[in-house]
Chain A
């Protein structure tokens, strides 16, 4: 039978996490269809059609899917369920919200945030903030799976799958969209950034993020992250949080500044290829996972780093 991958997108275009989740979906060994549910989402559907190995793209274009409301999207996926054996989505906030609802509607126990496909019914997933890895075998006839996309390579383009319109499901009308506050800047998103510069409690203020972290990030073309302590203290917005309960990232280079390295933070970044830590406390746990540690006052070291990178033509 077939696997249905539910795409993450911004309606006009597809997000990179979808390409990564497709790699996991393809490893289930069945043909993969992609569902794009959105409003005026033809652009995202056309992008999905170009991904290698996609059998077909289903486009559900309806205002009901404009704002990530869980109830109508879950109803749509359920309406498509008879044709599919497995439902796969990247573990973004949208699908962390909707997929367990789908699983309950199908009477399936979801497998959350898989990091490896061992067999079509067997998966590895982290528990205890990544301090243990469980291998689980699903006994359910249908599988509902979310994918920790940072651990899968992105599937490339080269395909030419057909795009078919699918009917919307009846909207249960339980919730409505009121508004959103979404940061708009030119920095890469954390989920797909090649380099991430993160600040912690040591930053002491939101102004210091602006003064020290952001210029370094912009010099490197990096995304900006933060520890929970920094977000809780109001130094940085919630969508910057990296960790067990925030975003899990695995960039090529992760620069942790003024971050002590609580296990909840390490859970979100320890799969990064190269980790740099700058902290004045030589005993901070972050140094136990850092490839390069610099024990220094960040208020001197960070501007110097930004300046030296500038001299290198960054």
Chain B
């Protein structure tokens, strides 16, 4: 079974982003970029399945600018086998990403696709579910445990009330939540090895997908700020202020 893992290059999770003062967007020009953290978890899970003999090959795909090759290379250093870079300089919305991925899936024929549950830049939380809908495949989002069970996958999902376990018919789509695993660091020998692993590059236009955005971004603004309040000296003052000043207890 081949596993396909789509990955996205995003502003590093530790960076405090800055909204441009003219409302035209978020200033990412000099920001440190990294792989979306949920996608690292997806790669780790694919590698563990491969190491357990459940998967033959782990293929990464990223849709983005030339620099997204670095993101793919990061995943190859973790241990994935090869990469596909679908070049697009302009941002691509989740629906169009899902359509490009559908075309990649038709070429590659994976038995399992593992994606991050959301990208930490646009916080859309859509691509995996959309791809499952387009392919007509089973889906299990927000996974905290994944087991291969013959022609099925057994997936435990993090849901609002606790945990839910479902059984999916293969081929299927799984999106990762935080506690599925802890991604490995790339070892130096693996970083060296990854330099020789192949990354095929294709223009997004070749997939015949309409890339025009459906959502027009009119403006991007800072959220209303919240100011620090007062420091209270002890518990008695806290209780008194909550009761008499804020009136919430």
Contact = CB atoms under 8 A, between A and B. Distances in A.
A129 B120 contact: yes
A43 B19 CA distance: 46
Contacts of B144: 238
Interface residues of B, number: 81
Given A110-B94, A110-B95, A305-B239, 8 more contacts: A93-B142, A93-B160, A99-B129, A134-B220, A181-B162, A238-B177, A292-B238, A294-B234
A232 B133 contact: no
A16 to B, nearest CB: 13
Contacts of A288: 226, 228
B188 to A, nearest CB: 27
Nearest to A178: B165
Interface string B109-146: 00000000110111111111111111011111110100
Given A70-B129, A108-B95, A132 B118 contact: no
13 contacts: A70-B139, A103-B133, A128-B121, A137-B218, A174-B169, A174-B172, A175-B168, A179-B165, A253-B242, A290-B229, A291-B230, A305-B239, A309-B249
A113 to B, nearest CB: 7
B11 A128 contact: yes
Contacts of B118: 245
A292 B222 contact: no
B249 A314 contact: yes
A104 B131 contact: yes
Best-buried of B126, B213, B221 by chain A (most CB within 10 Å): B126
Interface in A221-261: 228, 231-232, 237-239, 244-245, 247, 252-253
A157 B76 CA distance: 56
B161 A182 contact: yes
Interface in A63-78: 67-71, 74
A137 B160 contact: no
A311 to B, nearest CB: 9
A91 to B, nearest CB: 9
A112 B229 contact: no
Interface residues of A, number: 94
Interface string B210-233: 000111111111110010111110
A228 B242 contact: no
Contacts of A231: 178-179
A100 B159 contact: no
B151 interface: no
Contacts of B179: 231-232, 238
Given A70-B129, A96-B125, A97-B129, A132 B223 contact: yes
A126 B243 CA distance: 32
B163 interface: yes
B167 interface: yes
Contacts of B134: 104
A178 B209 CA distance: 37
Interface in B49-86: none
A100 B125 contact: yes
B13 A264 contact: yes
A86 B39 CA distance: 31
B94 A238 contact: no
Given A239-B161, A292-B232, A136 B218 contact: yes
Given A98-B129, A253-B248, A309 B239 contact: yes
A193 interface: no
Nearest to B102: A104
Given A101-B133, A132-B26, A232 B223 contact: no
